[in-house]
Amino acid sequence: MVSCHLLPTTFHLPHYSPVPQTPVSLPDLPLGARVEDTLLVYDVEQRTQNDGSPFVILTLGNSSGRVKTAPFWSSEVHKVEGLEKGAVVGVIGDVGEYRGDRQLKVTSIRSVQREMVEWARLLPSVGDVAPWWSSVDKWVAEMPDGPWRRTVGLFYGDADFRARYERCPASLSNHHAALGGLLKHTVEVGAIARTMAKASGATWDLVLAGVLLHDIGKLEAYSWDGLFEMTEAGSLIGHVVLGSLMLDRRLDEEEQPPVSDAERLVLQHLVLSHHGELEFGSPVRPMTLEAEVLHLADQASAATANLAAALKENANFGDGETVSKPIWNLDRRRVYRGQP
């Protein structure tokens, strides 16, 4: 792709008021279908033809998936002047095909004011988070009073923390990359870890504290007001270390922290080692049984979510094929969805 500077920094499209309340399912649209909906701009590709003339291709999406547009050729570039990633637009167009890939031929595009947007329509979402909170709150209520429960309560007893946690994605484009994905992932990790703790003899209350605290750093590592993006802190430090720092700061705010210095170290180790390997972002590898259980449960939730998503993604399969193309986030493995 050849980069060219064709778009000014200000987006000057006329305003558009969205009408549909239910987002169109982009992956299910047949060829020739008419689209009239509010969509999120996931990418703006600026290219040049062989003769040097510019053109632009957009990637548009909503909670159901994404679709690329047909090119806006040099005579049409003015239609998207100033358009940037993360913008919200009202679109009218028709579904076509180019070299086997579907694309949206846009006939009309208008800006939508962000305050009018229902983000759950435009971004992937787990939906109602109440069932996931029910599991978390039940587990916490069952914890005996002590340092682990009191430390967890410093976070999960805070309304602002809960409001942010239930919206945060668990990743930007990998497993559980959806509004509410972090909460769902946490419950999956807890369900897996509970069985592993019982089988291995690990202390469940300590494992549970690790489950509920291991990914809190993602609240500072990610932003989800529009596109899922990495914050500066997330880029420079990473969510694993950010989680340990958040834990430290919150404990230091208490005149009498609920944990001793030794207990604090144990909790920090759970947070810092949960990715298992240095090359995967953990500054230390698991050294306790509880840390090993947490790491493996976290890995299992992520890996199975990725495989399940790969099986559902039709773009991974050719027409009528049951074996997929290599999947990048499954270590280039192929997946099989034929009937047994």
Q: What is the pLDDT of residues 244-286, one digit of tens each?
A: 999 999 999 999 999 999 999 999 999 999 999 988 889 999 9
- pLDDT at residue number 23: 77
- pLDDT at residue number 340: 67
The 10 Å Cβ neighbour count of residue 13 is: 17
CA 209 to chain centre: 23
Rounded mean pLDDT, 181-189? 98
Q: Exposure pattern of 320-332 as b/e (b: 16+ CB <10 Å)?
A: eeeebeebebbee
Query: What domains can be seen in the chain, in order of their start residue?
Result: 26-120 (2.40.50.140), 123-309 (1.10.3210)
Query: Which residues are within 8 A (CB) of 193 and not within 5 positions of it... i.e. 6 or more apart?
Result: 207, 208, 210, 211, 293, 294, 297
Name residue, tokens 């003015």.
Answer: 78
Judge whether residue 15 has pLDDT over 70: no
- pLDDT at residue number 24: 82
The 10 Å Cβ neighbour count of residue 88 is: 19
Q: What is the dihedral of CA 263, 268, 274, 275, to 10 degrees?
A: -160
The 10 Å Cβ neighbour count of residue 128 is: 9
CA 22 to chain centre: 21
The string of pLDDT tens digits covering residues 148-159 is 999 999 999 999
Sign of torsion, CA 103 108 114 118? negative
Query: Which residues are within 8 A (CB) of 201 and not within 5 positions of it... i.e. 6 or more apart?
Result: 289
- Model-level pTM? 0.84
Calculate helix-pair angle for 130-142, 204-213, nearest 10 degrees. Answer: 140
Rounded mean pLDDT, 287-301? 98
Judge whether residue 14 has pLDDT over 80: no
Average pLDDT, the chain: 90
- pLDDT at residue number 104: 96
- pLDDT at residue number 64: 87
Strands 222-223 and 229-230: antiparallel
pLDDT band at 21 (very low <50, low <70, confident <90, very high): low
> Residue 206 in contact with residue 193, Cβ under 8 Å?
no
Judge whether residue 8 has pLDDT over 60: no
3-state secondary structure the chain: CCCCCCCCCCCCCCECCCCCCCCCCHHHCCCCCEEEEEEEEEEEEEEECCCCCEEEEEEEEECCEEEEECCECCCCHHHHCCCCCCCEEEEEEEEEEECCEEEEEEEEEEECCHHHCCHHHHCCECCCCHHHHHHHHHHHHHCCCCHHHHHHHHHHCCHHHHHHHCCCCCCCCCCCCCECHHHHHHHHHHHHHHHHHHHHCCCHHHHHHHHHHCCCCHHHHEECCCCCEECHHHHHCCHHHHHHHHHHHHHHCCCCCCCCHHHHHHHHHHHHHCCCCHHHCCCCCCCCHHHHHHHHHHHHHHHHHHHHHHHHCHHHCCCCCCECCCEHHHCCECCECCCC
